[in-house]
Amino acid sequence: MNNYNKIGLYKHNIESYEKVYSAYESGENIVGIIQATGTGKTYQALALALDNKDKNIIYIAPSNSIIEHIESIINDNPNLNREKDFPNLKFITYQSLINKSREE
């Protein structure tokens, strides 16, 4: 835990991130980050992915352009390396879920 500096979370994001992380640590399987557009939810999700890089993580986004934006956030951050820091992070769109089997 605590990749705040590597990701670049602001104070309000750290507070939210810690609540989400605490919920997972106490056994919650599903959590949500409800904040306004542009407040840093993506950065919090990336911090969670970084802190859990040994686990398989699927980031589901509504469009490929959002996935491309998230990839650029990672690639443009000199503190991050896509392959090293996010080896098990996979991106998919909501629409692509239609083509997946339940097992997938």
Query: Is 75 part of any domain?
Result: yes
Mean residue pLDDT across the chain: 91
Where in the sequence is the domain holding 90, given as residue range(s)? 4-99
Grade residue 100 by pLDDT with cuts at 50, 70 and 90: confident
Q: Is 20 inside a domain boundary?
A: yes
Angle, in degrees to the nearest 10, between helices 41-51 and 11-25: 50
Q: Which amino acid is at 12?
A: H
- Mean pLDDT, rounded, for 21-38: 91
> What span, in angstroms and rounded, lies between the C-alpha atoms of 73 and 67?
10
Question: Does the structure show a pLDDT above 70 at 6?
Answer: yes
| Residue 40 contacts residue 5 (beta carbons within 8 Å) | no
E strand intervals along 1-104: 57-61, 89-93
CB 61 within 8 A of CB 67: yes
Average pLDDT of the segment spanning 66-71: 96
Instruction: Tell me if 33 is assigned to some domain.
Output: yes
- Domain assignment present for 104: no
* 23 is a domain residue: yes
| pLDDT tens, position by position, 36-63 | 999 999 999 999 999 999 999 999 999 9
Instruction: Say which DSSP state 103 is in.
Output: -
